[in-house]
Amino acid sequence: MGSTSTIASTAQPPRVNLLGLSRRQMEQFFLELGEKPFRARQVLQWIHHAGVCEIERMTNLGKALRDRLQHIAEVRPPEIVSQHDSQDGTRKWAIRVDGGGLVETVLIPEGARATLCVSSQVGCALDCSFCSTGKQGFERDLTAAEIIGQLWLAIKSYDAFCSGKGRVVTNVVMMGMGEPLLNFDNVVAAMDLMLEDLAYGISKRRVTLSTSGVVPALDRLAEVSEVSLAVSLHAPNDALRSQLVPINRKYPIAMLLQSCRNYIAAQSDSKRVVTVEYTLLAGVNDQPEHARELAALLRDFPCKINLIPFNTFPDSGYRRPSGNAVSRFWQVLVDAGYIVTVRTTRGDDIDAACGQLVGQVVDRTRRSERHRAAVQTRAMQTG
Ligand code: SAH
Ligand code: SF4
């Protein structure tokens, strides 16, 4: 009994990572400490405007409060393990999160804009047949700090907090590893910080969440968020989509499109559209008849279409269509009156394109980690 209470009194509770707290959560945190809400505003600005993570440097908090905070809180970004720069200016980071998992973040500069592609989970459970992240399986959700930490690290890596260099990240897409709607609360908290003026102040139109179609979560998102929406369709009918995107068996196309319509209808500005993502797989979904069927399916649906020629990875079993096949597909949709863009492959030389994320580098790391774990287990069993 005595020893239990000794342990209980000496064990330190884990420190709260302030990096991942939305404005409301930060205000609540300071309220519970008996502090005024303006403390939350000061700390948000230190972290997300000034890029400061040492509490002792937050000088306008007063010494007593800083001392107190240092015992119960921290500002801890995830750790960069490697950084690669592509010849086209794309920069990719491999980021290690608590527990050893790796995720990737990619910054894609295009003229005046620079888009950061952010991961939401280590791996993904949804197993879309053409996605290397899906092949990896699901490991865990990222925390809000690990999600917003990717934006924080990107800005830090250009030394661009308070530097007068202007914005190094103008747009964010939740299109890295993982299905963002399956990590709902953490993704929403991180996106709140992206939009929050006391943090990054990015406009809601410039933050995009891409989903493979988790309908109930999308319905919930409509109630709490105003970010732009992209939906991974990839097929013009349920039979084909269910093969490529297994979650379609649970939430088929008609249900998904209705949920997207509701999302758009819930927005305060009327002119929003959904980005329909369509990965083109040679000989599978890239024929003119698929394009015609897609054009018919999306008639009256408020959207623009983004075609993504398949990005290859080892043992994928799929091929990228020829340039001609992509043009033919594009033309059918344009003739039908759609706004259609073709996503150019960026950062190809560093494996930074859609669906290639993590691919080889993590596969190798994970495999060797799994191997080490297996060896250790065997050693323990025999030893
Ligand atoms: N999980 C979310 C967001 C991440 S993937 C989603 O599925 O929407 C971002 C986009 O890249 C999705 O449309 C996804 O289907 C597509 N994608 C995945 N693997 C790909 C690959 N190998 N080549 C081209 N696009 C791919
Ligand atoms: Fe997951 Fe998106 Fe990849 Fe599908 S495409 S497995 S939902 S990350």
Residue 342 CB neighbour total at 10 angstroms: 16
Q: Is the pLDDT of residue 368 over 90?
A: no
Going by pLDDT thresholds of 50, 70 and 90, the confidence category of residue 12 is confident
Task: Let me know whether 113 and 128 are in one domain.
Answer: yes
Residue with the bigger pLDDT between 167 and 166: it is 167
Specify the pTM.
Answer: 0.90
Overall domain count for the chain: 2
* Ligand 2 binding residues, C-beta < 6 A: 124, 126-128, 131, 133-134, 178-179, 212, 232
Residue with the bigger pLDDT between 100 and 72: it is 72
Q: Is the pLDDT of residue 57 over 60?
A: yes
- The Å distance, Cα 58 to ligand 2 centre, comes to 40
Residue 34: domain span: 2-74
On whether residue 203 sits in a domain, the answer given is yes
Note the pLDDT of residue 267: 92
Q: Which whole-number Å values give the CA distances from 170 to 108, 134, 139, 235, in the listed order?
A: 10, 28, 30, 31
Span 100-159, pLDDT tens digits? 899 999 999 999 999 999 999 999 999 999 999 999 999 999 999 999 999 999 999 999
Strand partners for 93:
83, 105
Q: Pick the last residue of a domain from 23, 50, 74.
A: 74
CA of 355, closest atom in ligand 2: 3
Q: Are 222 and 274 in contact (CB under 8 A)?
A: no
Span 286-314, pLDDT tens digits? 999 999 999 999 999 999 999 999 999 99
Q: Are 114 and 169 in contact (CB under 8 A)?
A: yes
Task: Let me know whether 248 and 279 are in one domain.
Answer: yes
Span 174-208, pLDDT tens digits? 999 999 999 999 999 999 999 999 999 999 999 99
* Percent of the chain residues topping a pLDDT of 90: 81
Task: Let me know whether 257 and 138 are in one domain.
Answer: yes
On whether residue 373 sits in a domain, the answer given is no
Note the pLDDT of residue 250: 98
Task: Let me know whether 28 and 103 are in one domain.
Answer: no
Going by pLDDT thresholds of 50, 70 and 90, the confidence category of residue 366 is very low
On whether residue 85 sits in a domain, the answer given is yes
Task: Let me know whether 84 and 70 are in one domain.
Answer: no
Average pLDDT of the residues of the chain: 89
Task: Let me know whether 165 and 212 are in one domain.
Answer: yes
Mean pLDDT of 47-65: 96
Note the pLDDT of residue 354: 63
Residue with the bigger pLDDT between 375 and 295: it is 295
Q: Is the pLDDT of residue 8 over 60?
A: no
Q: Strand, helix or coil at 327?
A: helix
Q: Are 278 and 306 in contact (CB under 8 A)?
A: yes
Top mutation candidate among 105, 106, 131, 313 for ligand 1, by most atoms within 8 Å of CB: 131
Residue with the bigger pLDDT between 352 and 48: it is 48
Task: Let me know whether 219 and 274 are in one domain.
Answer: yes
Closest CA to 297 of 276, 267, 280: 276
Q: Is the pLDDT of residue 382 over 50?
A: no
CATH number of the CATH domain containing 108: 3.20.20.70
Going by pLDDT thresholds of 50, 70 and 90, the confidence category of residue 163 is confident
Task: Let me know whether 51 and 109 are in one domain.
Answer: no
Does ligand 1 come within 6 angstroms of the Cβ of 214?
A: no
Q: Pick the last residue of a domain from 58, 74, 90.
A: 74
Note the pLDDT of residue 35: 96
CA of 178, closest atom in ligand 2: 8
Residue minimizing CA distance to atom 4 of ligand 2: 128
Q: Is the pLDDT of residue 383 over 70?
A: no
Mean pLDDT of 82-102: 93
Strand partners for 230:
210, 275
Q: Cα(98)–Cα(272) distance, rounded to whole angstroms?
A: 37
Least confident of 5-19, 157-171, 220-234: 5-19
Least confident of 249-263, 272-286, 303-317, 349-363: 349-363
Residue minimizing CA distance to atom 12 of ligand 1: 232
Task: Let me know whether 134 and 65 are in one domain.
Answer: no
Q: Is the pLDDT of residue 381 over 70?
A: no
Note the pLDDT of residue 37: 93
Going by pLDDT thresholds of 50, 70 and 90, the confidence category of residue 355 is low
On whether residue 380 sits in a domain, the answer given is no
Catalytic residues: 104, 354
Q: Pick the last residue of a domain from 74, 93, 128.
A: 74
Closest CA to 261 of 251, 272, 252: 272
CA of 312, closest atom in ligand 1: 22
Task: Let me know whether 191 and 50 are in one domain.
Answer: no
Q: Which whole-number Å values give the CA distances from 246 to 32, 67, 142, 158, 371, in the listed order?
A: 44, 51, 23, 39, 29
Q: Cα(321)–Cα(290) distance, rounded to whole angstroms?
A: 14
Residue minimizing CA distance to atom 9 of ligand 1: 175
Note the pLDDT of residue 145: 98
Task: Let me know whether 198 and 279 are in one domain.
Answer: yes
Task: Let me know whether 124 and 182 are in one domain.
Answer: yes
CATH number of the CATH domain containing 54: 1.10.150.530
